[in-house]
Structure 1
Amino acid sequence: MITTDLPLYPWQAGLVAREALVAPSNSRTVARTPTVADLLGLCQMSDTLDQPVFQEHADLHEFGLRMAYLQFPYSEDQYGAVARLLPMLDRHFSRPPFEIMSREAISDVLGGPLDVFVDSAPFFSAAAIRNGGRFQESWLTGPQFAEIRAEIDLDVLMSVFRHAWASTIPDLRARARSSTSANPLLRPFDWNPLQARPYVQLSDGSHVAPNVWWAHNRVSPTAVYHLGMDRHQESWARDLGRAQEDYLVHQLGQLEPLARVIPEFEYPTRNGSVRTVDAFVIFDDLVVLVESKSVRARLGSTTSADAYRDLLRRDLDKAYGRQLPRSVDLVRADHPKLGGGVSAKPVVALIVTPEPLYQADSPSFISSLPPPPVPTSLIDVSKLEKLVAAARVTRSSDIIAKQAGRGSHDSADMNNAFQAISGGLRLPNPILDEAFAQGRWQSSDET
């Protein structure tokens, strides 16, 4: 069990755990039980591994990309990821536009209702921390869990655990081996199946979470995406993308009456009817175009600069090259659906993705896309939630204009701006805060 009090980095621990899975069976036989000192030694050895950047003609941008995807996910705020699930997915899904998504389909994918999946986050995260990473189902019948049994159906909770939290060693080993890089120098950056299934079932039926970081970050829209993709493939991806679009408009609606929020609409052109960006946010001094995109970093796309540029071009070229210019033209023409009086206002744009696309806004990668007609920033949903919260607190569009003008590669400067507004506290976002308050328990400490 790798805990937060050991002097090591989570990505070091992840590499050791993954290599233990993919190692040949005869190399896993040990003469004695490994100690904490053994673990620390193995983790520290990861810093001495040869790297492609040390080779001749190495691409430093490529190295920065790989390191970003190796390390940055561990610093992401989990509050929004958990709280976002209910307002985004606990809803009616009309047909069309949705293809297969429904409350029943989500429950089928997760092993139980969405609210139980959300409430499983602090429960199984706390279990990993408090019990040395070990968990036994039989414990749930004990007196220490009497209050838990009064709050939640344990059969449903354990169904969610088996579907969304745990897996067997053979399954995890097969998943790890199937995604192992042919180039051994890239092995530290390979996808780790323990991130998707943080608990491992042992031969006696008990479970262990090798790394608390993975347990802590299990519940999120990203988890729902991958669990659904295993069963429904692209139909699930499209539906989740539509749900994200609706959620962003819902989030932006919190800016009213400070700003007017106008959802996408169709308008005629010589080539037929086309749609605008997903939302126009019209402040007194600024127009913000917001476009939701479902692009996620795929396996193999984050270890090669060329593959990453291909990913961006494939999934974002339309937004940068067509959707933004057309919608900017509507603003400049004072289209009647925008309410009038917008043509002279400055315009900026936000392209919003479900997860951070690390380094994508840096000149080395963003230059692969058509130049946008207005200052544009590529951000994730979590950043949009923070921008909405900050704009509500300041009663101003300044923070959004700052983000769009600087881009995500100036994240340190933006973090300082958020800190100055919040005073170091979490910025209030009513949609997230109300959803989080619906949980059966308010913190993992109570579990």
Structure 2
Amino acid sequence: MMNVEPPNGSDAPPERREREERTGAAVNDYVAMVARHRPYRDTSPRRTIPFRDFRQEVRRHRPSDLLPTLAALALAGGDPPFSAQWLATMPPWAIALAARESILWGNEHRKEGVTGDDLRRLFNAHNDVVGVPRERDDNFVLGMLTQVAYEQFPYQESIFEEVSRTHALLVDGLSAVNLEVLSEKAWEEMLGAPLGQVVGATFFLQVAASKNAGWFDHKWLDRPDMQEIYDVWPREVIERRALELSSTFEEFKAAYHAAPHPPDGNERYSFNPLVERPFVRMNDGRYLAPQPRLILRTITPGALYYRGIRALGEPFARDLGKLTERYVGRQLKSIKPTPDLYPEILYGKPEQASTDWFLVLPSVVVMFEVKSARFGLLERAAAPGFEKRTKSLIDKAVGQLIRSSTEIDARNPAFEHIPSDRPRIGVLVTAEPHYLANSHWTRETVQQAPFPTLTASLRDIELLAALPLDEVERQLVEIANDPDRSTWSLGTAFDRSKKQGPNVVLQEAWDSYPWLEELDIDEDQ
């Protein structure tokens, strides 16, 4: 069982030290309660409550008490993979949701303090929330599972891949691809500093908050022992980044109300401004991250996508598409031993483009079609019509795969280096996970190819590229032809009994930064 030791800086006012001690006691009490918990089979009907009852449970507490307690609890949970017991009793997405509701609707005119039993009531209420029943149409199950997937799965993904991918995808590729608007200078103009420095500054803020129960205090930057850090990450970049990633309570509320919202009854899936600005500015001048896991996610490709679209418009989206295509090729080329891999083929008059990559293996040709399109907020919340976005994306990609396959069969001279004497598999690669794209519910609504097709995220491709070449071939063939496993998320379908090495591309990207993981930035020094 993990204990949470509250920071007790000698310069902190006595009132603050007392609050921090109460926070640590509440978290330790609840963690101990969870450790003693033993699930049991209960055949009675489960209690269900509307979302407004969960909101009222949150509003029982002062934000100045609840938010620090949630931050400390989030850090007590450590990093994924989380245990099933942890996910059932203090899920990280519930922490972020409770923090959102506290900032939006809480006030200081409440009873002081939060106890372990208060946390028990809060998370039980969260687990009992039921939304407005969905219309029982053909997409009923798909809609419910889409909501759950996009609410929960991102919090269970390792941040190593997400952060490393930012550098490998958005920095390493700049000089290798002919782009319209993206460049090192464009990133610097957008972010106020080179992208690499922004990644480092964000990492610094993550470490600072993680070491100090979610808190960040600008006064720490005045310490004389910080100069070593500023030699790598300039102080002005750290300060600018901290300001960018924070909001006042009023700014937070304005951002929430300005965002599109799903239908009434599904408020839990509404926009959470903590995703874009994970720190809130508290009354004492310090910044607090109620769900610290969201800090580093602000510099993932998915987060930077929206920054780029706002600043550079559609040309940015086209550039990102080119970078994503190159990134998939770079991952596939890293497979050992080096595979027979061929890029996009231009053919015909008027000129057309084939699928993006052809991986030629002894028993199969695997065709990869890469798409960088992303789900919007309402589509993640499975608002009416959400399935049309997925269908459009998959149908377009499958059509491209079918056309390339037809040209191979027709022995088009432009495709003469692609064997026509073996089966084919099509892989649609998406820049972000489309968690249910392989499921029966999605497959029933989209175009079908005359050969097996799978949808894979960049994370899935990174897992694939860490396998030896013979395993890549065996596993893709087995999964694609298995009626059950072919409907799973590709990363889940992989045979994990086979030892995987590190992903070379991601490791090189991670190692390119002086991560300073041993930094000592505890408040009490």
Where on the TM-score scale, by shorter chain, does this alignment land: which range? 0.7 to 0.9
1:428 to 502, 505, 521: 502
Aligned equivalent of 2:443: 366
After superposition, the Cα gap between the structure-2 partners of 1:54 and 1:127, relative to the gap in structure 1 and judged at 3 Å, is same
The 1:41–1:18 alpha-carbon spacing in structure 2 relative to 1, beyond 3 Å, is: same
Deviation readout 1:243-296 (Å, 9 max, x if unpaired) = 111111122222375421111121005xx2110011111122221111111121
The Cα shift of 1:16 comes to: 1.3
Q: How many aligned positions are there? A: 435
1:170 to 215, 229, 250: 250
In 1, distance between residues paired with 2:444 and 2:254? 38
Q: How far apart in 2 are the matches of 1:217 and 1:157?
A: 16
Pick aligned residue for 1:331 from 384, 393, 408: 408
Q: 1:440: Cα distance to partner?
A: 0.9
Q: Is the 8 A contact 1:332 1:343 kept in 2?
A: yes
State which of 314, 323, 335 in structure 2 corresponds to 1:243.
323
In the alignment, structure 1 residue 8 sits paired with structure 2 residue 90: yes
Q: Aligned equivalents of 2:511 and 2:406: distance in 1? A: 42
Q: Does the CA-based 8 Å contact 2:345-2:415 persist in structure 1? A: no
Deviation at 1:21, TM superposition (A): 3.3
Task: Tell me the equivalent position of 2:422.
Answer: 345
In structure 1, C-alpha distance between the alignment counterparts of 2:100 and 2:235, rounded to whole Å: 31
> Is it true that 1:156 corresponds to 2:245 in the alignment?
no
Give the whole-Å Cα distance in 1 for the aligned partners of 2:317 and 2:115. Answer: 41
Residue among 227, 240, 244 paired with 2:307:
227
Matches within 5 A, 1:191-340: 191-255=271-335, 258-269=338-349, 272-304=350-382, 307-321=385-399, 323-338=400-415, 340=417
Percent of residue pairs bearing the same amino acid type: 26
* Alignment check: 8 A CA contact 1:112 1:160 kept: no
Partner amino acid, structure 2, of 1:432: L
Determine the C-alpha separation between the residues in 2 that align with 1:42 and 1:287.
52
- Matched to 1:304, the amino acid is A
Would the aligned equivalents of 1:293 and 1:354 in 2 still touch at CA under 8 Å? yes
| Correspondence for 1:398 | 474
Q: Contact 1:122–1:443 (CA<8 Å) still a contact in 2?
A: no
What residue number does 1:28 align with?
Answer: 107
CA distance in 2, matches of 1:22, 1:283: 55
Match of 1:128 in 2: 209
Gap runs ≥5 in structure 1? none
Distance 2:355 2:234 in 1: 43
Between 99-108 and 176-185, report the one with greater CA deviation.
Answer: 176-185
What secondary structure does 1:378 align onto? strand
Which structure: larger Rg?
A: 2
What is the TM-score when the length of structure 1 is the normalising length? 0.88
Distance 1:308 1:391 in 2: 38
Partner of 1:76: 157
- 8 Å CA contact 1:168–1:202 kept in 2: the answer is yes
- Aligned-partner residue type, residue 97 of structure 2: L
Return the match for 2:432 from 321, 330, 355. Answer: 355
Gap change, CA 1:408 and 1:75, over 3 Å in 2: farther
**Quick one: structure 1 residues 43 and 156, their matched pair in 2 at CA, closer, same or farther if it must change by over 3 Å?**
same
How many Å separate the matches in 1 of 2:202 and 2:487? 31
Shift of 1:218: 3.1
SS in 1 for 2:90: coil
Distance 1:427 1:78, change over 3 A: farther
Unaligned regions of 5+ residues in structure 2, if any? 1-67, 78-88
Q: Secondary structure at the match of 1:240?
A: helix
Q: Give 1:306 deviation, angstroms.
A: 5.1
Structure-2 separation of matches of 1:445 and 1:75: 26
Residue 117 of structure 1 deviates from its aligned partner by 2.4
What TM-score, normalized by structure 2, do the two folds share? 0.76
